[in-house]
Amino acid sequence: SPLLSWSPPSLTGWRRPWIHPSGRLGSPVPPLQQTLNMYLKCTSHLITEEQLKKTKAIVEKFGAPGGMGEFLQKKLLERSEHTANWVYDYWLEDMYLSNRLALPVNSSPVMVFPKQNFRSQSDTLRFAAHLISGVLEYKSLIDGRALPVDYARGQLAGTPLCMDQYNKVFTSYRLPGPKTDTLVAQKSTVMPEPEHIIVACKNQFFVLDVVINFRRLNEKDLYTQLERIRKMSDIEEERLPPIGLLTSDDRTQWAEARSMLIKDSTNRDSIDMIERCLCLVCLDEPSGTELTDTNRALLMLHGGGTDKNGGNRWYDKPMQFVIGADGSCGVVCEHSPFEGIVLVQCTEYLLRYMRGSPSKLVRAASMSELPAPRQLHWKCSADIQTFLTSSADKLQRLVKNLDMNVSKFTGYGKEFIKKQKMSPDAYVQVALQFTFYRCHGCLVPTYESASIRRFQEGRVDNIRSSTPEALAFVKAMDVEKMELLWTAIKAQTNYTILAITGMAIDNHLLGLREIAKELKLEKPELFSDTTYATSIHFILSTSQVPTTEEMFCCYGPVVPNGYGACYNPQTDHIIFCVSSFCDSAETSSDLFVKTLEGCLKEMQDLCTKCNTEAKPADSTKRKDGTTKVMKNGSNVHKCLKNMSHCKC
């Protein structure tokens, strides 16, 4: 079929995208036929022949001249002329705001800091005060537009990236709704109220003003206030129900509970203070567990449940800095306002700041008298108590259900992969496909996030890593595996370039689907077809989150029978954080990690073997600049320019 013979198009000839007043380009709208061809290519090997035949007919009808596809494409192009980013609102609602699942595990990623060695409560509070000082310094850089511009890394490196997401780090809030949430962005006024953070301690919430009488508190003052909060939290008579548990519930349930809470003015005032804070600092009690990498990841993801620190959170706020008395520290991130790289940049700044970077806060003389921090109060009706009981039960089930494995693969790292002239990210993605195939005997729709911050208000699109080329490689046994590995790597790299340049299929298909809904048209058959439902059920959800500091990112699966696989390639090792659910009979994080280590070793052996066989002494130079390599008794003609096999 000509629809299956798709190859990467030239990136020239795009329709001129909308130009933002700042001069940055908005996302392009890919050509319709290109997306439809790629859609079939991405799904053809994941469905049955019978289903493929049906889907081909649906796609051809949708893309026919004068058909529904052309009409919707025209409307998308019109939308792109009048908005900064035609897909942003559609994507935000589809990816996050309309999702009704609970935020912990299902949506909110975490960054796990190096384990700290706190010898006393004073050490913990000093760490917290130092961290808060770093947060205030970082916020001042954002407010003053003094952050250095981010530039793309990896494929097409060097392109400046949109910085809009940083403005939401400390000024946004995810407001729960009965059917869809709202991402609220705070707007400064002429006379803003004093800035404050919320400190959670023993499931209680306290207001810590960080600006008093127009002066930012120094670390000594912050330490004094944190000490006061700690003492206030010890007064058992003042302890109130763990209201934070309500934010761990599914979004519709939490929206209903919140509506009931704010009927009382005391509760309304307390919620208002939390929703307008810069961030949360959660002072956690010791967990009583061995602080392995895996256990620290679990404590960040869900707090350990109601019997540990599960209620010491407020999940709607984008940044929750967790500081455990036992040294388990990190950040819980509400993901709707910004992407992982923004979280990485912020947390790396904080870790460097706390280690004593040149950019230190200038300490002023301490105030002799500081107004005491304020505890937030709640009035809980019988109905609210019922909600709390339900939320606690569901969180406990989530805690018991999460199957997590954080593993450091020490066989090699990105340095070895680069020596093979391969992209480390593409290599790891092919390894993940290889692993899934070994575990389950098939490939499945796979999500890999690709930043499109090259464009104004750009968030992410999806790199569909389960390519036909990857399938050919993982199925190979007694054939030329190295050739197939190169082909799979090249396919993954090509798709990555398409995604980061705004030419992948997922955002485009989403836009076509949503603009039909917006125009109140009947849902096109393309989007009610079983293949489409299968194609967006991402059993394998992956993301590369590299760091330059000693920390790692992790998250939960996005479907009940799936895996979450976050990886952090370093020079001589790779950190993998693999998650799944215990109640799925199809998945096992431990088995996946064990198999992954074996697959990575096999790929290393394959590369080493082929490089050994293709020694310079075994090759002869041709006049056309290529090399004839003698390999296993056969001639392999390898192009020196791009390492791909030519057809000369």
Segment 248-274 mean pLDDT = 97
Return the residue matching tokens 């309309």: 98
The per-residue pLDDT for range 44-93, each reduced to its tens digit, is 999 999 999 999 999 999 999 999 999 999 999 999 999 999 999 999 99
Q: What percent of the chain has pLDDT over 70?
A: 87
The per-residue pLDDT for range 489-535, each reduced to its tens digit, is 999 999 999 999 999 999 999 999 999 999 999 999 999 999 999 99
The per-residue pLDDT for range 612-637, each reduced to its tens digit, is 776 544 444 444 444 443 333 333 33
22: tokens are 């700042």
Residues forming a β-bridge with 209: 196
Reported as a pLDDT band with limits 50, 70 and 90, residue 457 is very high
CA atoms within 13 Å, Cβ hemisphere of 605: 6
Reported as a pLDDT band with limits 50, 70 and 90, residue 281 is very high
Segment 546-556 mean pLDDT = 97
Domains in the chain, please, with CATH?
101-128+170-332+368-402 (3.30.559.70), 404-502+538-612 (3.30.559.10)
The per-residue pLDDT for range 150-206, each reduced to its tens digit, is 999 888 899 999 999 999 999 999 999 999 999 998 665 444 555 899 999 999 999
CA distance 31 to 386: 52
Pick from 314, 331, 311: nearest CA to 322: 331
Phi, psi angle pair for 207, to nearest 5°: -90, 120
pLDDT for 369 equals 83
CA distance 496 to 542: 13
User: Which residues belong to the active site?
Assistant: 335
Query: Which range among 5-9, 139-143, 354-358 shows the weakest confidence by mean pLDDT?
Result: 5-9
Report CA torsion sign: 115, 116, 118, 122: negative
Beta strand pairing call for 460-463 and 182-185: unpaired
Q: Residue 366 is inside which H or E element, if any? A: none
